[in-house]
Amino acid sequence: MQIVPLAILIALPSVLVKLASALNKTRLTWKHCFIFGSVVTIFGLINRAISSHAGHALALPLAIIISVTVYLLFGSWYFSSRGVTQDGKPVGIRGAVKLMIIFVLLLGILGGLSFGFLFMLRGVPR
């Protein structure tokens, strides 16, 4: 049953980047969205494996900064030639950076809502 969490880990960034492209008024194919989701999932799994092997995880603020940096760098490079504007032209690096900023904001909103929901269910930890 390990396939379901892996599928969710790939689908979540894929759907969020597709939503970000709709908000940014750019067009992305689902294929490119799922490739992006797969690559960032593989990066996260490698990061987790390295942390487990080292015996300790990164501090949360540092992990967030590294993840956001990877999303911005990889996503901007990857979508600069694959994203298309409404005119049919490639979005370029600026459009891809804007797309990734929207993606990171959506991811932050989803994370904040998830933590809020978790605290609502379990109560505030003491």
User: For 45-95, what is each residue's pLDDT tens digit?
Assistant: 888 888 777 777 777 788 888 889 989 999 999 999 999 998 989 999 999
Cα(125)–Cα(87) distance, rounded to whole angstroms? 51
Alpha helix segments (H runs only) across the chain: 3-23, 30-54, 60-80, 92-122
Cα(122)–Cα(115) distance, rounded to whole angstroms? 10
Contact at 8 Å (CB) between 10 and 37? yes
Contact at 8 Å (CB) between 29 and 111? no
50-84 burial code (b ≥16 CB/10 A, e <16): eeeeeeeeeeeeeeeeebbeebbeebbebbbebbb
User: For 12-50, what is each residue's pLDDT tens digit?
Assistant: 999 999 999 999 999 999 999 999 999 999 988 888 888
Give pTM, 2 decimals.
Answer: 0.85
Domain residue extents for the chain: 3-122
Cα(59)–Cα(13) distance, rounded to whole angstroms? 22
